[in-house]
Amino acid sequence: MTASVRCWTGGSRWRAFRHGCIYLRRDAGIEAPRDLEGRRVGIPEYQMTLGLWLRGILADDHGVAVNGIAWRTAGTNAAGRKERLPLELPPSMDVRPLPEGATLNTALLAGEIDAIFSPTPPAAFAAGDPRVTRLFPDPRAAAEDYVRRTGLFPIMHVIGVRRDVLAGAPAIGRALFDAFLAAQRMAEREWETTLAASSPATMLPFLAEEWAAMHALLGADPWRQGVMANRGELEAVCRWSAAQHLARRRLAVEELFDSATLDT
């Protein structure tokens, strides 16, 4: 996050649990999270939000020294993925791209890396290749246990406004937050109406049951918005960003958001 350029509006655009996004070469000898220490692990971009959350969860929950992992970057199944911003990491950290033309999938199968962190499954796993497996065999159970213990529902994206735009129209931050929240509530009401009528607009046969299970796990407002409602997640992101050298210092939550949205 470049706090000097943008000011966030207090709304999270997208969230996802990521325990199912760690893939292993089955013969790599990785049986538990701590076994990742000192290994070569591929990721599309070191600074992507998925990596921030997974490294934070591994460090907090499993005591993994994530800065000691040798990180290798490339596209998961297509070559050419690169970091979007320059990295400023200490010399002790080993983060570098795979050779030009390489993919994480091919590097894993060739034994050049031991694991992959990726939102997109490597092609070998998607094809059922027995050489590739997940670190967490039941990622849903792992994620449900995580949220029950911590109360954290990972935030992937937020809505940002340029500071110069906000300076010229100070009310825009809160107005955007209120507008996006109203749109979300409309969408939720539509889902509830179609589910109550047993006419969901998807092909999932147990969608109503999944909807109820989501509320049982995450509460009455699963996709909660606003700074106050998400303070736990935001403080974790600030702490991990500094610990993983993605931020030059540990930022306070209040530094990141438009003051008009801090009470949301």
pLDDT given at position 1: 35
Q: Where are the domains of the chain?
A: 6-12+154-261, 18-139
Residue 11 has pLDDT above 90, yes or no: no
End-to-end CA distance of the chain: 20
Q: Which residues contact 64 (CB under 8 A, 6 or more apart)?
A: 33, 34, 36, 37, 55, 58
Give domain 18-139's CATH superfamily.
Periplasmic binding protein-like II (3.40.190.10)
pLDDT confidence bin for 40, thresholds 50/70/90: very high
Please indicate, yes or no, whether the overall pTM of this predicted structure exceeds 0.75.
yes
Condensed to tens digits (0 to 9), the pLDDT of residues 27-37 reads: 999 999 999 99
Condensed to tens digits (0 to 9), the pLDDT of residues 76-97 reads: 999 999 999 999 999 999 999 9
Condensed to tens digits (0 to 9), the pLDDT of residues 134-171 reads: 999 999 999 999 999 999 999 998 888 999 999 999 99
